[in-house]
Structure 1
Amino acid sequence: MTAETAEKTTVDPFKGTPYEGSPDGWWTEYGGALDVVSGVVYLPGPEHPPSPFHKDDCPNCRPPRGEA
């Protein structure tokens, strides 16, 4: 089995949702997906990337890999 074959047989966890076929991006590291039509990013909780929209000491913010 080649890597290409393995990639084609992988099940999309977002199949049947607007996030099906999501491209990789910053959200991938957090288990998220992008709805390419609306531009909405889905992030499963509770961990998420740091955000400027809430307090700096959020216990659920996870720094990007390589930072800690």
Structure 2
Amino acid sequence: MTAAVIEKATVDPFKGTPYENSPKGWWTEYGGALDVKSGVIYIPRGSKHVPCPWEKCKHGCRDKE
């Protein structure tokens, strides 16, 4: 007797958008996705703060880290 393996189907939340089948990257941690064709990264509103890498940021992003 063998145990049945139940695989959880993964649903792409970006199905039908340019971000469908986004590769994993730093944006994945923030619930985001990459449009491979354009190079645009989408981060959904309300996701945790993404620190700004620019040291001279005028929006105070680095202060929020």
Give the secondary structure class of the aligned counterpart of 1:13: coil
Aligned equivalent of 1:37: 37
**TM-score normalised over the length of structure 1:** 0.67
Q: Percent identity?
A: 62
- Which of these two proteins has the greater Rg computed from alpha carbons? 2
Give the secondary structure class of the aligned counterpart of 2:37: coil
User: In structure 2, what is the Cα distance between the partners aligned to 1:48 and 1:40?
Assistant: 18
Deviation at 1:48, TM superposition (A): 2.9
Structure 1 segments of 4 or more deviating over 2 A? Answer: 45-48
Aligned equivalent of 1:10: 10
Which residues of structure 2 form unaligned runs of 5+? Answer: none
User: In structure 2, what is the Cα distance between the partners aligned to 1:48 and 1:37?
Assistant: 25
RMSD: 1.8
Cα deviation, 1:5-64, whole Å, max 9, x if unaligned, reads 53xx31100000000000000000000000000000000123231012431324xxxx5x
Give the secondary structure class of the aligned counterpart of 1:27: helix
User: In structure 2, what is the Cα distance between the partners aligned to 1:12 and 1:57?
Assistant: 34
**TM-score normalised over the length of structure 2:** 0.69
